[in-house]
Amino acid sequence: MKHDHFVVQNPSAAAKQLLLLFHGVGDNPVAMGEIGSWFAPEFPDALVVSIGSPAPSGPHPGREWFSVAGVTEENRQGRIDAVMPTFIELVRYWQKQSGVTANATALIGFSQGAMMALEGIKAEPDLASRVVAFSGRYAELPQQIPASTTIHLIHGDEDNVINVKHAFDAAEALERIGGDFTLDVIDDLGHAIDDRSIQIALDHLRYTVPKHYFDEALSGGTPKDDDIIELL
C-alpha cells in the first residue's frame, strides 16, 4: 500500500508493540516523527511509524486528512467519514506488516491527527487498544466506546485552535458512556506539544492499567492469550 510515511524505529526482532503517529494540518510525517523519537527509546520492542495524511493541504506545504476550508460543526463529521476508510486501511496495513494486533497498537495524534485517531475508534471499535490525543477533539461526541480501548486526552489550557472545552466535553461524554480515559490539561500551553505533554503520554502508556483488566479480574475472568501484550 503506497502512502507517505516515516519509520522512526524498526526493532531488529519481531515487534511487540505498534505506535502509529498522525500529524496535524499542514504538517508532514517526518516532522511528526520527531515526537515519535521521544516514544521509541521507552518502547524498544515497538515499531514506531509516523503516517502522512493523503491530501495536500491547500496552497500551503504539508498535508491533511480532510480540508478545513469552510469546515463547520455541521460538515466536519461528513468530511471525516469520507476519509475514514483510508485511515482504517492504513492502521490495518501496519498491523499486518508488523504482526502486531490491535491489543498492542497505540494511535498517537496531534490536532487533526488526534481527531482522526479518536474518530477511528468510533468507526472501528477494535482498531487499537490506546489512543493518545494531543490537542484533539471529536467531530461528534461518542455514544458508545469499546471497553478494550483506553483514551488519553492531553490538551493545553490556552489552545486557541481547538479550545480546551472540547477536551472537557469529550471527558464528560466518555464518563457518561463508561469509557476508559484520562484527561490532562497543561497549564499555559497553546496548540502544541511540549515536554510536559510528552512525559504525561509516556507515563500513561507505561503505567496506566487499562480498566478492562480490573473488570475482568472482578468478574473472575482472565485476559485472552492475544490480550496479554499491552502498552504498559
231 three-class SS: coil
DSSP 8-state code for residue 4: -
Q: How far is CA 122 from the centre of its chain?
A: 12
CA dist list (Å): 100 to 126, 147, 193, 209: 13, 19, 27, 19
Q: Is 226 in the active site?
A: no
**Residue of 81, 191, 203, 215 with catalytic role:** 191
Q: Are 120 and 95 in contact (CB under 8 A)?
A: no
Cα angle for residues 150, 153, 159 (degrees, 5° grid): 170
The C-alpha torsion from 125 through 127 and 88 to 46, rounded to 10°, is 160
Query: What is the helix, strand, coil percentage profile of the chain, to 5?
Result: 40, 20, 40
Q: Please list, in sequence order, all residues whose beta carbon lies within 8 angstroms of the beta carbon of residue 109, skipping any fewer than 6 positions away.
A: 21, 22, 23, 115, 116, 117, 118, 131, 132, 133, 134, 136
**Residue of 159, 166, 197, 212 with catalytic role:** 159
**Residue of 57, 111, 129, 148 with catalytic role:** 111
Q: Is 191 in the active site?
A: yes
Q: Tell me which residues are annotated as active site.
A: 111, 159, 191
